[in-house]
Structure 1
Amino acid sequence: MSAIKRAPQTRHASLLRAGSDAEISASDIELIRLLQADGRISFVDLSEKLGMAEKTARKRVAELRALELIEITTVASPRAIGYNSVALVGIRITGGATRLGIAERLFALKAVDYAVTTFGSYDVLAELVCCDNRELGEILDGSIRGMDGVKEIEVFPYLSLHYQQPAWDRTQIKDDAQHTLASAPLDKIDRDIIHHLSEDGRVAFLEISRHIGISESQIRKRYARLVEQGVVQVLAMTNPRSIGYHTIAWVCLNVASGVSITAVGDLVSALPSVAYIAICAGKFDVLAEVMCRDADDLFDLVDHRIRSLPGVSAVQTIICEDFLYRRIKPAGG
């Protein structure tokens, strides 16, 4: 990932840098991988698995967070936390505008949780998370279509978030075909717990209890239930390049007439490197974000695996460059 300007902290943004300004050791990479598996793993367990003193593990986690190499936060189904309208928007820019400049301006919009500069059919991709279609339409019409430097846009509203695996190593070896976060009903206390964990995934349950006004044991039980139900994960979000996935792309699929889009989504989700799948309306039927080790790995995935899947009628690949990411808080939080 090339160096880009940091987004203002008031927007709760993270660049998730790949270590261009800091050295990442082999032990750092292993530490990040453990935190991707479980963002709330105890420092005692971390130190044992890494073979280092607990004090050293604690210090290095703090350093990696301060360097913006990781952000320990929540990942939840948007619908579970109040966002019923999500879309990926492809943007083509005018001459004189820069991809990065447009990405940063899009990212200034509260509803944009992700913006990436790209090579391919679009210059920039941005994901919008909105409470409903009316809000989505207002942002598209009032903020994006008329933005200086935006030539044209294409909108891909999500019909369903079919698959999501934010722990990058787990995208390589699929032990199950599905990892879609559940959308179980949440009450205000559940949403408050997720809100605090989205700010800091390692915050003590006792600290949350002081803010919410219920006991630490109740917080702990509710959190365990949310994890068991698949509603939320707490993990270290990191730039995939930090741990060896240097080629990130969106693969856009069309499904042949008469073939189930869901069935194709299931086939794609079972492939290595696939981290995120949305079934959508618009020009494409399936959007898949993939994390590959290099360009050869991406070529093998697209040419030898995805194109040969039954029911896939057309494939377009969009390569990602610089991206901005914002953790998603529960709606109204």
Structure 2
Amino acid sequence: MLESLGVGAGSGGLGQRIPASELDRIDHALVFGLQKDGRASAAALARDLGLDQRTVRRRVERLLDEKVIRIAAVTDPRQLGYHSRALVCVKTSGSSDHGRLYQEIAALPEVDYFTVTSGRFDFQAEVFCADDVDLNRVISEEFRGRPRCRPSRCSTICACTTRTPGSARSARCTSRRASGRSSSMTSTTASSRCSSPTAG
């Protein structure tokens, strides 16, 4: 993909983020175009937008370097052998800084997505496991097994739908934020208590 755009393999490194106010219409159009097809060549993008290929390459390289976008493969977890997926919501105990705990949970190989939240729960983690037995092990050992970690709810994800980048909402989101995310997920869940014998 990078080669088709004429962008060096080292792009997308440790750059400073571009303030949203500095992204213009061309930047937004390139982000939206790459959301629709992450393999689009510089020539195709230039043709669609009526731009010079050199301008496209320069702009895309800047967006990568400044971490506005990243080019990544979006996988199907089930095809990779992960058949149990859950959202684990956790309350933490104690009043000390939980930064280290957050880092430990976020670094678990089974955790795909981690967020610190306000409200009833302190954080939530999206967990991918091979099966329900493995999911129960992860919740028991990696979550409940930590002194300050109190899993309060586990929602098994039964189905998910990918919003296509070409949708009206996606276009609005791209225009507002130029986030560069290739897709977003909405999930249908079935809730179960984490204290149950099996998670899900």
Q: Provide TM-score, normalisation by structure 1.
A: 0.45
What is the rounded CA distance, in whole Å, between the counterparts of 2:24 and 2:101 in structure 1? Answer: 34
The 5 A counterparts of 1:265-284 are 275-282=184-191
What is the rounded CA distance, in whole Å, between the counterparts of 1:85 and 1:62 in structure 2? Answer: 37
Query: Could you tell me whether the CA contact under 8 Å between 2:20 and 2:177 is conserved in 1?
Result: no
Partner of 2:131: 132
Tell me if 1:75 matches 2:71: no
Structure 1 pair 100/69, CA: closer, same or farther in 2 (3 Å)?
farther
> Which gives a bigger RCO, structure 1 or 2 (Cα 8 Å, sep 6+)?
1
Query: Could you tell me whether the CA contact under 8 Å between 1:115 and 1:126 is conserved in 2?
Result: yes
Shift of residue 278, structure 1, vs aligned partner: 2.3
Gaps of 5+ in 2: 1-15, 179-183, 194-200
Query: Could you tell me whether the CA contact under 8 Å between 2:84 and 2:132 is conserved in 1?
Result: yes
What is the rounded CA distance, in whole Å, between the counterparts of 2:26 and 2:87 in structure 1? Answer: 36
Shift of residue 165, structure 1, vs aligned partner: 1.6
Query: Could you tell me whether the CA contact under 8 Å between 2:85 and 2:129 is conserved in 1?
Result: yes
Query: Could you tell me whether the CA contact under 8 Å between 1:96 and 1:149 is conserved in 2?
Result: no
Q: Which has the higher strand share?
A: 1
Q: Structure 1 residues 48-57 or 17-26, which shifts more?
A: 17-26
Partner of 2:158: 159
Tell me if 1:244 matches 2:153: no
Partner of 1:42: 41
Shift of residue 40, structure 1, vs aligned partner: 0.8
Partner of 2:27: 28
The 5 A counterparts of 1:79-90 are 79-90=78-89
Residue type of the partner of 1:86? Answer: R
Query: Could you tell me whether the CA contact under 8 Å between 1:145 and 1:153 is conserved in 2?
Result: no
State the Cα deviation string for residues 66-96 of structure 1 (Å, max 9, x = none): 2222121222332122210111111122343
Shift of residue 65, structure 1, vs aligned partner: 1.9
Q: Structure 1 residues 36-45 or 68-77, which shifts more?
A: 68-77
What SS is found at the alignment partner of 1:27? helix
Partner of 1:170: 167
Residue type of the partner of 1:172? Answer: R
What is the rounded CA distance, in whole Å, between the counterparts of 2:146 and 2:164 in structure 1? Answer: 31
What is the rounded CA distance, in whole Å, between the counterparts of 1:22 and 1:102 in structure 2? Answer: 35
What is the rounded CA distance, in whole Å, between the counterparts of 2:48 and 2:176 in structure 1? Answer: 20
What is the rounded CA distance, in whole Å, between the counterparts of 1:76 and 1:128 in structure 2? Answer: 15
What SS is found at the alignment partner of 1:110? coil
Percent of paired sites with the same residue: 26
State the Cα deviation string for residues 273-328 of structure 1 (Å, max 9, x = none): xx5332222159xxxxxxxxxxxxxxxxxxxxxxxxxxxxxxxxxxxxxxxxxxxx
Partner of 2:10: none
What is the rounded CA distance, in whole Å, between the counterparts of 2:158 and 2:83 in structure 1? Answer: 10
Query: Could you tell me whether the CA contact under 8 Å between 1:91 and 1:151 is conserved in 2?
Result: yes
State the Cα deviation string for residues 237-280 of structure 1 (Å, max 9, x = none): xxx9764269xxxxxxxxxxxxxxxxxxxxxxxxxxxx533222
Tell me if 1:112 matches 2:111: yes
Structure 1 pair 148/245, CA: closer, same or farther in 2 (3 Å)?
farther
Residue type of the partner of 1:281? Answer: A
Residue type of the partner of 1:25? Answer: D
Q: Provide TM-score, normalisation by structure 2.
A: 0.71
What is the rounded CA distance, in whole Å, between the counterparts of 1:143 and 1:86 in structure 2? Answer: 15
The 5 A counterparts of 1:146-295 are 146-161=145-160, 163-165=161-163, 167=165, 170=167, 172=169, 243-244=175-176, 275-282=184-191
Residue type of the partner of 1:50? Answer: L
What is the rounded CA distance, in whole Å, between the counterparts of 1:32 and 1:277 in structure 2? Answer: 21
Shift of residue 171, structure 1, vs aligned partner: 5.8
Partner of 1:144: 143
Residue type of the partner of 1:87? Answer: A
What SS is found at the alignment partner of 2:191? coil
Residue type of the partner of 1:244? Answer: R
Query: Could you tell me whether the CA contact under 8 Å between 1:100 and 1:117 is conserved in 2?
Result: no
State the Cα deviation string for residues 12-39 of structure 1 (Å, max 9, x = none): xxxxx97449943332111111101111
What is the rounded CA distance, in whole Å, between the counterparts of 2:80 and 2:163 in structure 1? Answer: 18
Query: Could you tell me whether the CA contact under 8 Å between 2:17 and 2:67 is conserved in 1?
Result: no
What is the rounded CA distance, in whole Å, between the counterparts of 2:116 and 2:46 in structure 1? Answer: 38
